[in-house]
Homo-oligomer: A and B are copies of this chain.
Amino acid sequence: MMAWLQAVFVCVLLLGPVFAAQADEVPLSEASQECMDCHVSITPGIVADWQRSRHARISPAMGLKAEESARRISVDQVPAELADVAVGCAECHTARADAHGDTFEHNGYEVHLVVSPGDCATCHPVEAGQYDQNLMARAYDNLKNNPLYQVQEKSIIDRPDFAHGKMAYAPANDLTRAETCYACHGTKIDIVGTELRDTDLGEMEFPRLSGWPNQGVGRMNPDGSRGSCTACHTRHGFALEMARKPHTCKQCHVGPDVPAYKVYSASKHGNIYSSMSRHFDFNAVPWTVGRDFTAPTCATCHISMLADGDGNELVGRSHQMTDRLPWRLFGLIYAHPQPKSPDTTVIRNTVGISAPTDFKGNFATAYLIDEEEMARRTATMQAVCLSCHGRAWVGGHFQRLDNAIAETNHFVRASTGIMEAIWEAGLARPDNPMDEIIEKKWMDTWLFYGNTIRFASAMAGGGDYGVYAGGRYQLNQRITELEAWYQERNSARKAAPPAE
């Protein structure tokens, strides 16, 4: 008898956070009830998703009763009118109505479509504040307002026309931009008018938004705030389980430029996650190493507060994801220490360009964190590692990562040296370094292969992604190709009679 009772409790443990404690104990506000009355028919999927959420089951006041380490909200008290009701439709979609450019009158309520970090900050101000200091919160600005990155953007999405034996390029339109770079970086959402729609309740007026839908990490919201919490905390369930699973990060981190998910899924950690996570608890706060999980996900290493079995905090929660990151692995064009400010448009390298390194590999030191800060962040990250690994293990791992950063930067220096020779020999035009075929092949070396190798090293997903799957094999092949292209054309150039 005991055995199955035990199993039952295991079930409760496993399934409990999602299904236990049904919503009927927490009242809906009158406004949210009114929303529901129609939307349960109009958008049944949203409503059902929300009904299973913690927001539907736990009022802010109930949430505040938890011990501090177990709390999911970061205020001491919430506005009285929110305290004892579920966090329903109206609580978010009518919050701060005056602040929202997209507010419109809807059945007697001032409703806005785009719920923003500014709204979420009502109960989660610490997280919203940290996030705003995050590189991600500036993903729109940092791309849109950096002339160099705009050259790169245009080299990828510009629209070709071939006529009369010649190619010409025109800028991509806004719809294309919204579903390419800015799908992840975030769009700027503007109110471009209103429209009338026939509904079951008669004709109604709604705002028309440009750049919508979007859930990019640096979205520019109609209330002036930056970012989109639902990039990771997917509406309308907002399940911790989901934000903590690696599939969330995969949405933007799977391509050859940032193959974090691919590398993770082939690493030992990813293997444990894939094989064993049905036994993990992804909803526990604090998140206890060993008891709740036996391998880290992206969130474990980069964001979450972790505790040991006695409830001691091993590392604190942070929504400023660079908090545990000394290096920025993403090559621009070399991997470099993290920028000091989330606004990277202020950076100037040795030749005055807004990039964290120059073509020789010198860092824009004044704009990047110093060694002391790098050491602090390394120590924070290693506190995560050390909860499962000994010092020899962790030391060996980070020594390899440091080596991989130095070595891939060296490889990129070699490929860039070839390009410099090509430009110098007049075999390509240096004014735009990304628009000719040989330049595009050079981009592969630092944008894809260098990055892939570093991600592979960082997550010890070593073998394949460091070598044959977009790693050193391809990097070496491409450098050999660049060099052969240069030598062949340079020889021909020298052999040819001088042009008239």
Contacts of A310 in B (CB 8 A): 41
A490 in contact (CB, < 8 A): yes
Contact A403 B176 (CB under 8 A): yes
- 26 residue pairs of the A-B complex, CB under 8 angstroms, read A7-B11, A10-B11, A14-B15, A40-B309, A44-B290, A44-B388, A46-B388, A113-B392, A156-B473, A161-B414, A162-B413, A175-B399, A175-B403, A176-B407, A178-B400, A180-B467, A183-B463, A184-B464, A212-B396, A213-B397, A239-B276, A252-B464, A254-B266, A254-B464, A254-B469, A440-B477
Given A43-B390, A437-B484, check contact A48 B289 (CB 8 Å). Answer: yes
A12 in contact (CB, < 8 A): yes
A241 in contact (CB, < 8 A): yes
A245 in contact (CB, < 8 A): yes
Q: How far is the CA of A41 from the CA of B388 in the complex (A)?
A: 10
Contact B45 A437 (CB under 8 A): no
A257 in contact (CB, < 8 A): yes
A137 to chain B, nearest CB (A): 17
Contact B7 A16 (CB under 8 A): yes
Q: Could you list which residues of chain A lie within 8 angstroms of chain B, going by C-beta atoms?
A: 3-12, 14-16, 18-20, 40-49, 51-52, 113, 155-163, 165, 167, 172-173, 175-176, 178-181, 183-184, 197, 206-209, 212-213, 215, 234, 237, 239, 241-242, 245, 247-248, 250-257, 261, 265-268, 270-272, 274-276, 278-279, 289-291, 294, 308-310, 386-393, 396-397, 399-400, 403-404, 407, 410-411, 413-415, 417-418, 421, 435-437, 440-441, 447-448, 456-457, 460, 462-469, 471-473, 476-477, 479-481, 483-484, 490
* From B52, B213, B245, B272, contact of A234 by CB (8 A): B272
- Name the CB-closest residue of B to A178: B400
Contact B7 A476 (CB under 8 A): no
Chain B CB within 10 A, most for which of A209, A215, A460: A460
Contact B417 A181 (CB under 8 A): no
Contact A156 B467 (CB under 8 A): yes
Contacts of A435 in B (CB 8 A): 480
- Name the CB-closest residue of B to A9: B4
Contact B255 A270 (CB under 8 A): no
Contact B437 A477 (CB under 8 A): yes
Copies per assembly = 3
Contact A396 B271 (CB under 8 A): no
Q: How far is the CA of A180 from the CA of B276 in the complex (A)?
A: 26
Contacts of A48 in B (CB 8 A): 289-291, 294, 309
Given A9-B4, A472-B156, check contact A275 B161 (CB 8 Å). Answer: no
Contact B179 A404 (CB under 8 A): yes
Contact B388 A43 (CB under 8 A): yes
* From B213, B247, B275, contact of A248 by CB (8 A): B275
Q: How far is the CA of A46 from the CA of B387 in the complex (A)?
A: 8
- Name the CB-closest residue of B to A457: B179
Further 15 A-B residue pairs, CB within 8 A, beyond A43-B386, A255-B467: A4-B12, A7-B16, A11-B11, A45-B387, A45-B388, A167-B414, A175-B399, A209-B396, A234-B271, A237-B276, A248-B271, A251-B268, A261-B266, A435-B480, A440-B477
Chain B CB within 10 A, most for which of A11, A265, A418, A490: A11
Closest 5 pairs (CB-CB, A-B) = A48-B290, A45-B388, A183-B462, A255-B464, A255-B468
Contact B440 A480 (CB under 8 A): yes
Contact B289 A213 (CB under 8 A): no
Q: How far is the CA of A397 from the CA of B407 in the complex (A)?
A: 43
